[in-house]
Amino acid sequence: VYPNSFGTNLVGLLFRRTSYMSGNNTGQPIVPMDSGPDLPAMFDRYKIRVEQELSRSVQSPEGTDPYTLIRYHLGWSDQHGVTAQSAISQGKAMRPTLCLFACEALEEDPERALPAAAALELIHNFSLIHDDIQDQDVERRHQPTVWSI
């Protein structure tokens, strides 16, 4: 059914549910023998490349809105636009990573999907900013929210 073992492992990881085989009267879950790579390690595989694509996507002269706000929200700069010590965002980048995993599972080149993956992360972060505004939250990831500064 799946073109390669990675696709099989990916589907097993993403859709892992306790399943019961017919005729199994013990009520014990059937667990796959090979559960695949550790999930955090899998997500780290694309973190740097997603970050680079995000950075490329929001390049603009320093101090130009809305890019300053985006960089601040992603944790790349402080609220004055000064580049943070760690330019790696604090988010998990789950959505773009899943996009790239899907490409890999279909034996396509994940590099070609990086712009789409970055777009997914930007849309997700927009939804977080919108949620903060709607809920009037003044803090996200231990710093003031974009709308509150």
The whole-number pLDDT of residue 29 equals: 46
pLDDT string in tens for the chain (149-residue length): 444 455 555 555 454 443 434 444 554 544 444 555 566 777 788 888 898 998 888 876 665 678 888 888 988 888 888 887 765 566 678 899 999 999 999 999 999 999 999 999 999 999 999 999 999 999 998 889 999 98
The whole-number pLDDT of residue 68 equals: 84
The whole-number pLDDT of residue 93 equals: 84
Between the CA of residue 41 and those of 37, 54, 80, 107, what are the distances in Å?
Answer: 7, 20, 33, 20
The topology under which CATH files domain 38-148 is Farnesyl Diphosphate Synthase (1.10.600)
The whole-number pLDDT of residue 63 equals: 59
Taking the whole predicted model, whether its pTM rises above 0.85 is answered as: no
The whole-number pLDDT of residue 127 equals: 95
Contacts (Cβ under 8 Å, ≥6 apart) of 3: 105, 106, 107
Give yes or no for a contact between 48 and 107, defined as CB atoms under 8 angstroms apart.
Answer: no
| Domain limits, the chain | 1-36, 38-148
